[in-house]
Structure 1
Amino acid sequence: MKLLARLPVLRSFSVPGVPYRIKSSSGVASLDSADFEALSRDVPEHFNFAGDVLDKWSQREKDGKRAPNPALWWVSERGEEVQWSFEELGLLSRKAANVLSSVCDLHKGDRVIVILPRIPEWWAVTVGCMRAGIVFAPATVLLTAKDILYRLQASKAKSIITNNALAPLVDSVASDCHFLKSRILVSEDRREGWMSFHDLLRAASDKHQPVKTRSQDPMTIYFTSGTTGYPKMVEHSCCSLGLGLVPAGRYWMGLNPESMIWGLSDTGWIKFIFGSVFAPWTQGACVFAHGKLQFEPTTVLKVRISSSSLTTFSRSPGASVIYVLSHLSSYHFKSLKICLSGGEPINPETMEHWKAQTGLEIQEGYGQTETTMLCATLTGMQVKPGFMGKPCAPFDVQVINEHGNPLPPGEEGDIAVRIKPKRPLGLFTNYVDDPEKTASTERGDFYITGDRGLADEDGYIHFIARADDVILSSGYVVKAFIILTPAYQSHNTEKLILELQEHVRKVTAPYKYPRKVEFVQQLPKTISGKTQRKLLRKKEWGEA
């Protein structure tokens, strides 16, 4: 199947035989309602992203029909660089597929947990899984032993791939994981009970035919953040991300084979694979990544934003605030054209500061672990501070009431996606082993996102809050409001804050600790005694 000939294109890069039309008005690329339907209707019966997309770009490289950008450009903390062409990515991922299938005895549909930082091996492993039809479940490197145990038991994963830092935690819980058959260590060091990924990769054959996977076969599982309970397992099919992110890559990120995108996100969150695998590589663009685990704005600015290569930059709103405070005006933005923000609403003042210091607008996007890009401010669209943009193909996004009926502009309701008469491409398959939770997300003809919002007269969507009032900040950052008992009211508050933060790190996970702490006399309560977190949020944002 000549998949690349079927993908949509924009302006400078032309491939014949696109499956739907591109319309342009004042430089804005868009799709009409018929094109929405085509995106879901024309899904092929079989689809394997590694074979049907990546291998096609590899062939274009060999034929001299692609810009001489690498597919992956990675820089370590020490400044060491790795650049892989699509051909090199293909070779290494074929070897990885052989390691997983031949040595680890994993087969189509088997599950593997992947806990790696931003290192080149992460891409080799995940693409290798795609080739072999193995379902991979990425996870953040900030997990605790308890988190790892839950994920191994819930997923029934037969293998886990991680590094030296996480291997001891895996060993501490492995005896309780009866499905776990193999442990693979990505390190030059050796560890008892673990196989060396590097040794296996060097010895593996580079001959491998992609497994013939159906478009609706499972490809990956992502665990939700688990803010209100145990994390849910969100399953995506082979086509939902690989084809469902085509519009985001082209129309939101503005990518083509001459582009380079840098997305700042943890490998364990689905946003990472959005911006560092599927969206850019459907367009033949270069993915840039930096290996530094801890976020440092000065490093980011000096390394790539002011370089001559970067064209698209994506990060969380929390990071945006830090950039503004880092005196952006002292840096030169040579090739940067598009700045993206997703994961939570961005402060309008931050957007204004960013534009004043860089000359560039921030284009917001909105999606979930369960979806691809639902809404966005596409390239060329008017930026409306406070609004996430308009619905993106192939989603029909509406704000609905409790009866499942769309609401008029300006009225608050549930942000929802139409799933009948046909479920759109890009939506998750189900919550694994939880049919009741899966069914609870449906209301009439719609999938309920769990977010509240409203639409304006122009169709832009404004996010208000989670329906269950979950606190969102930088993906997984919160502020704690704490009432002190009399015994602690005389304590040194700065020392107490540090002790509380350390306690949360130990009993939950390092990434869940509150970055900000405020001691208060009382918390706002409802009549039933529930804390009104919405009022706390308004107080924090100066709206009370």
Structure 2
Amino acid sequence: MNLAHEYIKDYREYTSYEDLKANCRLTAPEDFNFAYDIVDRYARETPEKRALVWIDDNSDEAKVFTFADISRESKRAAYWLTLKGIKKGDMVMLMLRRRYEWWFLLPALHRIGAVAIAASDQLLKTDIEYRTNAADVKMIISYDNPHVQEEIEKAMEKSPSVQYLVTVGPSREGWVNFHEEYEKIDPEFPRPVGEAATHNNDPMLMYFTSGTSGYPKMVLHDFTYPIGHIITAKYWHCVVDDGLHLTIAETGWAKASWGKIYGQWICGTAQFVYDMNMLKPDKMLTLISKYGLTTFCAPPTVYRFLVRQDLSKYDLSKCQRFSTAGEALNGEVYDKWLEQTGKRIYEGYGQSESAVICGNFMDSPVKPGSMGRPSPAYDVEILNPNDKPVPNGEVGELCIHVDQGHPYGLLTGYHKDISLTAEAFDGGFYHTGDNVYRDDDGYIWFVGRKDDIIKSSGYRISPFEVESVLQKHPAVMECAVTGVEDAKRGQIVKATIVLVPAYADKDKKEMEVEISTFAKENTAMYKIPRIYEFVNELPKTISGKIRRVEIREKDKGKDLEKIKQDF
């Protein structure tokens, strides 16, 4: 059973990307609610259909939850939440990593019409204080990690809106024990009517963006947001009915919405969840093989680790589709994966503010490193600073038309920030803030955030383009390319590099010469880094994106002339 077809207008099987883009149109019924219209529908009509297969590092075998289980437990959780005073419009923060209770509590909040706020377990006291006060959070639900819960407790003195701290693990002083209380509750929760009923334009879910600069923005999505992810799941991930899909993402950031619940369940595939303490490539590949995953999505960083394994040791034959997003995929990783598995990696691009905006959809040809082509859900334009379309090959800002209606899966706005919302939706477009260009085949290539572009001697240099070259060198695990102020050129290119462990103890001056020589042989002279810095780790946002702005800030005022290379 697959419910996706009911939300695609005049659905039929599409024969090509061009057919998909021209004819696939999403549609939402009045007052759509994911919990009642998807979870409960499956539970009524196919109660034994798998919804969730969950395992952690302490388990030998996975727990299996059917849609009947998810429906029952999310109703029980919704009833319990209302007994704690949670009502429509209240803000509830979930810090659950990948605990299976997330799949009970998220639909439970949807049933009530409360707003779920996804939050990473990496947040510290000040991060939590900012979020609770910015969003007027009423309840925080956390898993039983002492460090996480201690940071939450530290934040409570300056978090007056929070009425309850809830733990899904063992009892903790000052906390409500979720399992102890909710398991006593009747698993019934009728769909609310009247003022308590939810509507399509009501707020449902909120994400704090990664915050590459400044405080994180509060991205608000309404109840139609899950429908936008039908495109993500069906035509980019290419999930299959009664299949088993794994997206490697922690539930505290938006990739969880992309790959761990909405589109996948609407399309009838079960979620495989590995609640890992840290990435172990061998364990990950073993689980893919053991449980017969049919589709898999991970950021390029994960593929860089996986491809270093002997992939012939693992049976990946049941996995029909591998996909990636979050940053540009290095061509060498793509080639090695294809060589060892015979399977392509299909890239995609989007934001916390959206569903997948561009991607390699269906079986369309792949250009490694490209974001793919525009999603059928969005009418995309590449604009210059005057909001005029640019020709192929010219860099501009990726934007989405909103003048003919608000697309499904796109944010409704930034919570409590009218001016920022107006700026983002200026001129009949949603402005992504990302610079790209389109090639003659219609594929879109990421250049960088508008403030990441390096301008050197009249050239506009994409940090991602230089990083993609450097990452082909076997010594480079990760790198970040930034611009450094220079009297002669305006800016020069700097590379901040994390070395592969096997190279970590080598002389850094020798490594600089080796990598610099490699860069000269593989890219244009004007793009070559003039400055190299080797570090143990790169500064990143909570969601794992590199904070180039932090590197730039640290470099201000430094005397870098002595280590600058002249060519």
Q: Under TM normalisation by the shorter chain, which class is it?
A: 0.7 to 0.9
* Structure 1 position 425, deviation (Å): 1.4
Give runs of ≥4 in structure 1 deviating > 6 Å: 470-474, 480-483, 500-505, 508-515, 529-532
**Counterpart Cα distance in 2 of 1:258 and 1:327:** 29
Stretches of structure 1 lacking an aligned partner (at least 5 in a row): 9-14, 63-67, 484-492
TM-score by length of 1: 0.82
C-alpha spacing 1:280/1:158, structure 2 compared with 1 (3 Å): same
* 1:273 aligns with one of 250, 257, 275: 257
- Residues 120 and 542, structure 2, Cα contact 8 Å, conserved in 1: no
Identity %: 31
SS at match of 1:463: strand
**Counterpart Cα distance in 2 of 1:408 and 1:503:** 35
Partner of 2:351: 368
The answer to whether structure 1 residue 296 and structure 2 residue 276 are counterparts is: no
Letter in 2 for 1:404: D
- Residues 121 and 186, structure 1, Cα contact 8 Å, conserved in 2: yes
Equivalent residue pairs, number: 487
**Counterpart Cα distance in 2 of 1:238 and 1:29:** 29
Partner of 1:205: 186
* 1:43 aligns with one of 19, 28, 32: 28
* Structure 1 position 234, deviation (Å): 0.4
Cα-to-partner distance string for 1:240-271 (whole Å, 9 max, x where unaligned):
2x111112211111123221101111211100
The answer to whether structure 1 residue 54 and structure 2 residue 43 are counterparts is: no
Partner of 2:413: 430
**Counterpart Cα distance in 2 of 1:420 and 1:379:** 28
* 1:74 aligns with one of 35, 54, 78: 54
* 2:72 aligns with one of 69, 82, 91: 91
* Structure 1 position 115, deviation (Å): 0.5
**Counterpart Cα distance in 2 of 1:510 and 1:285:** 25
Partner of 1:175: 157
- Residues 307 and 335, structure 1, Cα contact 8 Å, conserved in 2: no
- Residues 4 and 56, structure 1, Cα contact 8 Å, conserved in 2: no
Letter in 2 for 1:363: Y
* Structure 1 position 24, deviation (Å): 3.0
Letter in 2 for 1:430: G
Pairs within 5 Å for 1:485-504: none
Letter in 2 for 1:72: L
**Counterpart Cα distance in 1 of 2:481 and 2:281:** 25
Pairs within 5 Å for 1:1-16: 7-8=4-5
Cα-to-partner distance string for 1:102-123 (whole Å, 9 max, x where unaligned):
2x10100100011012111111
**Counterpart Cα distance in 2 of 1:151 and 1:324:** 37
- Residues 22 and 31, structure 1, Cα contact 8 Å, conserved in 2: no
**Counterpart Cα distance in 1 of 2:440 and 2:159:** 53
- Residues 124 and 152, structure 2, Cα contact 8 Å, conserved in 1: no
* 1:391 aligns with one of 361, 374, 377: 374
Partner of 1:264: 248
* Structure 1 position 331, deviation (Å): 2.1
Letter in 2 for 1:144: L
Letter in 2 for 1:148: I
**Counterpart Cα distance in 1 of 2:399 and 2:91:** 30
Partner of 1:22: 12
**Counterpart Cα distance in 1 of 2:140 and 2:95:** 8
* Structure 1 position 339, deviation (Å): 0.2
C-alpha spacing 1:203/1:259, structure 2 compared with 1 (3 Å): same
* 2:301 aligns with one of 318, 338, 353: 318
* Structure 1 position 23, deviation (Å): 5.1
Cα-to-partner distance string for 1:304-333 (whole Å, 9 max, x where unaligned):
2x2362110000011111111122233221
- Residues 316 and 343, structure 1, Cα contact 8 Å, conserved in 2: yes
Supply the RMSD in Å over aligned alpha carbons.
3.4
SS at match of 2:337: helix
SS at match of 1:120: coil
SS at match of 1:184: strand
Letter in 2 for 1:126: L
Letter in 1 for 2:124: T
**Counterpart Cα distance in 2 of 1:531 and 1:437:** 36
Partner of 1:133: 113
SS at match of 1:421: coil
Pairs within 5 Å for 1:100-249: 100-102=81-83, 104-165=84-145, 166-187=148-169, 189-211=170-192, 212-240=197-225, 242-249=226-233
SS at match of 1:279: helix
Partner of 1:337: 320
- Residues 49 and 67, structure 2, Cα contact 8 Å, conserved in 1: no
Letter in 2 for 1:167: Q
SS at match of 2:263: helix
* Structure 1 position 512, deviation (Å): 8.2
- Residues 93 and 127, structure 1, Cα contact 8 Å, conserved in 2: yes
Pairs within 5 Å for 1:434-453: 434-453=417-436
TM-score by length of 2: 0.79
- Residues 21 and 31, structure 1, Cα contact 8 Å, conserved in 2: no
C-alpha spacing 1:356/1:49, structure 2 compared with 1 (3 Å): same
Cα-to-partner distance string for 1:507-538 (whole Å, 9 max, x where unaligned):
x97968999x99xxx96x9xxx9999xxx9xx
- Residues 397 and 432, structure 2, Cα contact 8 Å, conserved in 1: yes
* Structure 1 position 22, deviation (Å): 3.2
* Structure 1 position 21, deviation (Å): 3.6
**Counterpart Cα distance in 2 of 1:469 and 1:509:** 19
- Residues 93 and 128, structure 1, Cα contact 8 Å, conserved in 2: yes
**Counterpart Cα distance in 2 of 1:463 and 1:503:** 21
**Counterpart Cα distance in 2 of 1:481 and 1:51:** 48
